[in-house]
Amino acid sequence: MSRPFSRSLATLELEGRRFRSLIVIAATLLLTAWGMWFFGSRVAVYAVSDEARLEVDRATSPVVTPVAGRVVSTALTMGRTVSAGDMLVELDIRAQSLEVGEERARISGLGPQITRLTAEIAGQQEGRRDDLDASRAAKAEAQARHDEAEAVADLALDNEQRLAKLAAQGLIGQADLIRAQSERKQKQAAAEMFRLASQRIDAEQQRKDTERRIEIERLQREVAHLRGQVTTGTAAVERLQHEGSLRRITAPVSGTLAEVSTIRVGGVLRPGDTVATVIPSGALRIVAGFLPAEAFGRVHPGQPARLRLEGFPFTQYGSIHATVSNVASELRDGRVRVELDLSGAPTSVPLQHGLPGTIEVEVEKISPASLVLRAAGRRANPKPPAAPLQQP
């Protein structure tokens, strides 16, 4: 006896077997495709840092107050473009100006004194030369008279010797010989007087020359002392002018003012106070701080990266492409400094110094299976906890 609807049930059973076969075939294809992707494809692995920011490739220059003083004027404005040497803050320099005026007045008073003493020295030197010339003339005259008297004395001596021979022969009287001897003594005394006069002229000239030389040296010491005061005063003026220039706080480099401090006229600044920061013009780069485990041995120059800026959703603005240029080999504040060059940026993002973001550096490409095995290995071999410190 046949079942009711047997033909319909057979048809439904056949369709069920076909559907199950299709499900098995689809599942097999899906598992095959997934296995090929899981073991054969390559996915990018990224080292990520949320401490990234845009910076110019030149170091920023802080504007630091070198000396203490009261503010008399300020030209600090956030975002202002400045050139090197532009005045930013001026401190009170009245005390230095008054001291400069006093020193210059004192220096100007020393000039006439130096001129007078220099003229006096020149007069003393001229007098010394005149005294020397006069002494030479007087000595020459005394020497000439001495020579003349010597010649006369020699003649008188010859005459005495001749008369002595005649007296010994009895040809002349003794009175003539005595007269000749007396005349010879007179002539010799006269010659000696002229010789002593020449010596006296030498002694007098030496005395006068010594006195003039001592006076000239005294005057020269006074001039040197006054010139030393002029030099000291000039150095003091330069020092005061330098101190005054330090009270004119200027821009160290050309660029844009950032991080401007609130300074009011009449306020007092202390040495070392930072009043502003100048960002110089230059190309932008990315500077990021990576954890050592993320950077050492993984991040290398030439690797591609992408930066997602905070405040600019990447779904709307996209990301900024970059390339690793430098990787530090030392830690700073527990982080590894990595510098990256921009290789492309969306035009809709206003790039500027200081924008923060998150950087992702592509460090390698591996299969998903290797990635899963690596994660499983890390979980199977967790890092042992640090041993507690033992109390002594």
Amino acid 370: pLDDT: 67
Which of 60-64, 89-93, 161-165, 371-375 is least confident?
A: 371-375
Question: 145: number of CA atoms within 13 Å, CB side?
Answer: 15
Q: Which two tokens stand for residue 155?
A: 């003649």
Topology adopted by domain 95-246: Helix Hairpins (1.10.287)
Give CA–CA dist 26/31, Å, rounded.
8
Averaged pLDDT score across all residues of the chain: 81
The residues pairing with 274 across neighbouring beta strands, listed in sequence order, are 64
> Which has more confidence, 315 or 170?
315
Give CA–CA dist 91/69, Å, rounded.
6
Query: Which uninterrupted H or E stretch holds 62?
Result: strand 61-64
Q: Give the pLDDT confidence of 114-156 residue by residue, as tens digits.
A: 999 999 989 888 888 888 888 787 777 777 777 777 787 777 7
For residue 302, which phi and psi values (nearest 5 degrees)? 100, -10
Give CA–CA dist 86/250, Å, rounded.
5
Q: Give the pLDDT confidence of 38-76 residue by residue, as tens digits.
A: 676 677 788 899 889 988 877 788 899 998 999 999 988
Domains 62-92+247-276 and 95-246 share a fold: no
pLDDT category of residue 377 using cuts at 50, 70 and 90: low
pLDDT category of residue 11 using cuts at 50, 70 and 90: low
Asked if 357 and 317 touch (Cβ cutoff 8 Å), the reply is no
List the domain boundaries for the chain. 43-58+282-378, 62-92+247-276, 95-246
Amino acid 384: pLDDT: 53
Give CA–CA dist 375/381, Å, rounded.
10
Amino acid 70: pLDDT: 92
Topology adopted by domain 43-58+282-378: Elongation Factor Tu (Ef-tu); domain 3 (2.40.30)
Q: Is the model's pTM score more than 0.85?
A: no
Mean pLDDT score, 290-314: 87
Asked if 38 and 369 touch (Cβ cutoff 8 Å), the reply is yes
Q: Which two tokens stand for residue 217?
A: 């040296």
* Residues found in the chain: 392
**pLDDT cut 90: percent of the chain above it:** 16
Amino acid at 380: A
Q: Which of 62, 84, 86, 88 is nearest to 75 (CA)?
A: 88
For residue 11, which phi and psi values (nearest 5 degrees)? -65, -45
Give CA–CA dist 197/205, Å, rounded.
12
* CATH number, domain 62-92+247-276, options 3.30.565.10, 3.90.76.10, 3.40.640.10, 2.40.50.100: 2.40.50.100
